[in-house]
Chain A
Amino acid sequence: MKFSLRTLARLLALFILSTGLSWWWFSGADMGWTKTYVTIPATDDVTGIQYEVKKEKFVPGVDFLALGTGLSFVIFATSLLFSTKNPKIQQP
């Protein structure tokens, strides 16, 4: 099965859009900016001071979603420049 460049580009755009959306959604659909760490509340037993422990974790935010969506639209738009037909192989 052969795909035209236009189809390939559109499949790539769909893949990027669905991956970005799924990643963002299943990471908690955070409406803030992308985070590279999260904080976990803790309490010091002796002083009673409440503090936050940093834990490295990538949490995609709306900027990540926008980037994925934008990129997929650019690839989709670019696909319109390609021909719908497969390039014919010239016989000698």
Chain B
Amino acid sequence: MKIQALALAALLSTQAFADEVAFDFKDPKGVNNIVFKLDAPLESISGTTNGISGIISADPAEPEDIEGKIIVDARTLSVPNPLMQEHMLGAEWLDTAKHPEITFEIKEVLNSKKEGNTGTAEVKGIFTMKGISKEVLVPVSVTYLPGRLADRTGGKVEGDLLVVRTNFQINRGDYGIKQGENLDKVSDVIDISLALAGAAPKK
């Protein structure tokens, strides 16, 4: 009886593990992007980055139940004004020489709902910037696109895609970025929008 229970547990855990697919978010097409906006009373700043990588695991049957980590190369953050960019990446602001990565690690998925290939959920995770980590709760939409990787690679690679979208806000002061300073020109609130596609090639 005990052996049967153990065998059943092993079978179930193997099945659960087998259902999970790892999606790689390093996108050679450069489509994956994060947009950040800061709207201060005197100045509005908008920038982007394509320097995104990371792995998210998801069960295609339950695409909203995700786990993993997204990594942004902070040195690739870009704004159209070169002087502003130099200041943004410099030691006084993001200090990308010492803190080259901005990360978001998924810890827990809450209130998940599924509709067709798309799922929505609130994801609790650890957002790390300039060496400071804070727990944040972000609304996430996840779409599973089976067999669509071939369409993006001109038929060279077969596999699935997972599209993750989210919009959330952080306060730069919480991450030690000139807390309470220059608020008239550089907003404390940063609006962040992510639209990322991860690829899972068939083995």
Identify the A interface with B (CB < 8 A).
Answer: 32-39, 44-52, 54, 59, 61
- State in angstroms the CA–CA spacing of A86 and B193 once bound together: 65
Q: How large is the interface on B (under 10, 10 to 19, 20 to 34, 35 or more residues)?
A: 20 to 34
- State in angstroms the CA–CA spacing of A54 and B151 once bound together: 24
Q: Whole-angstrom distance from the CB of B200 to the nearest CB of chain A? A: 14
Chain B residues lying within 8 Å of A49, measured Cβ to Cβ, are: 31-33, 163, 165, 195-197
Chain A residues lying within 8 Å of B84, measured Cβ to Cβ, are: 33
Name A51's contact: one of B33, B81, B82 (CB within 8 Å): B33
Chain A residues lying within 8 Å of B32, measured Cβ to Cβ, are: 49, 51
B48 CB-CB contact with A under 8 Å:
yes
A50 to chain B: closest residue by CB? B195
Whether A44 contacts B29 by the Cβ 8 Å rule is: yes
Per the 8 Å Cβ criterion, residues 121-179 of B in contact with A are: 143, 145, 148, 151-152, 161, 163, 165
Given A46-B145, A46-B161, A35 and B33 contact (CB-CB distance below 8 Å)? no
Given A46-B148, A51-B31, A39 and B48 contact (CB-CB distance below 8 Å)? yes
B80 CB-CB contact with A under 8 Å:
yes
Whether A52 contacts B33 by the Cβ 8 Å rule is: yes
